[in-house]
Amino acid sequence: MKEVSRRTFIKGMLGVVIGVGSGLALESQNGNINTAVEEHTSFKSENAFKQQMAADECSKSSDFDSCVSNYRFPVSDRIIYSTLYPVIEEGAYRGLPSFLLDASSNSLRDIDNVEIAAKSFISGSGGLTLSRRELLVGIPASLIFGLSHNVTEKGFDTNTIPTVQTTGGLMLWYLQRKFGFGSNTSAHIAFNLRYLN
């Protein structure tokens, strides 16, 4: 097994720091983004899954609106949603598409090309701009990621726009492509930690 170069390690750690900062910045604007969307559409803008959980828990409360707005997941759920789910979601919605994007541009029969795709997955491709191919993969992946937050125990919520989850998905795609898997995963974890607490 090859040793990780100092440059790759520093880039990975920088990616994690940038990821945490990006996740916290997005979460701090969560309410403003949702309010702006709700003012300009007739739809609620939020994480439908969280809203459904809150509505179910608060259904017998005398002050339903206050209960829903102050709802907090049980501690065990917050731990899972802040640690395990971000890693799984980042692997599915950013990691796998990113690896396949890199692998498809090279022949996988050559082991060196698999290494190139794996290195890009881990430490990103660098640069500042996304290529046309990266956008053609990243935009649909981000839309699917956003819409996955509209799946509730009662089915698919068509009355809610997952604005922050979709735009956040685009941000996470960018972080993964440019800084690697540690960056987008740390951003997702930071966002969820703040959002759920």
The pLDDT score that the predictor gives to residue 108 is 54
- Residue 47: DSSP 8-state: -
pLDDT band at 4 (very low <50, low <70, confident <90, very high): low
Token pair listed for 109 = 């029969």
> Do 19 and 185 meet the contact criterion of CB atoms below 8 Å apart?
yes
The closest alpha carbon to 176, from 93, 84, 81, belongs to: 93
Distance in angstroms (rounded) separating the CA atoms of residues 118 and 8? 13
Closest to 184 in 3D by CA, of 87, 41, 54, 64: 87
Range 140-172 burial, b when 16+ CB lie within 10 A, else e: ebbeebbbbbbebeeeebeebbbbbbbebbbbb
Give the length of the chain: 197
- Return the minimum-mean-pLDDT range out of 5-9, 59-63, 153-157: 5-9
The stretch 85-101 carries a mean pLDDT of 93
pLDDT in tens, 174-188: 999 999 999 999 999
Across the chain, mean pLDDT equals 90
> Is 123 a residue whose pLDDT tops 90?
no
Instruction: State the pLDDT confidence band at 117, using cuts at 50, 70 and 90.
Output: confident
Share of the chain above pLDDT 70, in %: 93
For the entire predicted model, the pTM comes to: 0.89
Nearest CA to 175 out of 132, 143, 137, 127 is that of 127
Average pLDDT over residues 6-14: 84
Domain residue spans of the chain:
6-196
pLDDT of 109 over the 60 cut: no
The residue whose two tokens read 């899972």 is 80
In whole angstroms, give the CA distance from residue 187 to residue 126.
Answer: 17
What is the pLDDT at residue 181? 93
Rounded CA-CA distance 23/115 in Å is 29
pLDDT (average), residues 33-60: 92
Q: Which residue has the higher pLDDT, 120 or 161?
A: 161
Alpha carbon separation from 125 to 43, 90, 120, 129 (Å, rounded):
37, 17, 5, 10
Mean pLDDT of 27-39: 94
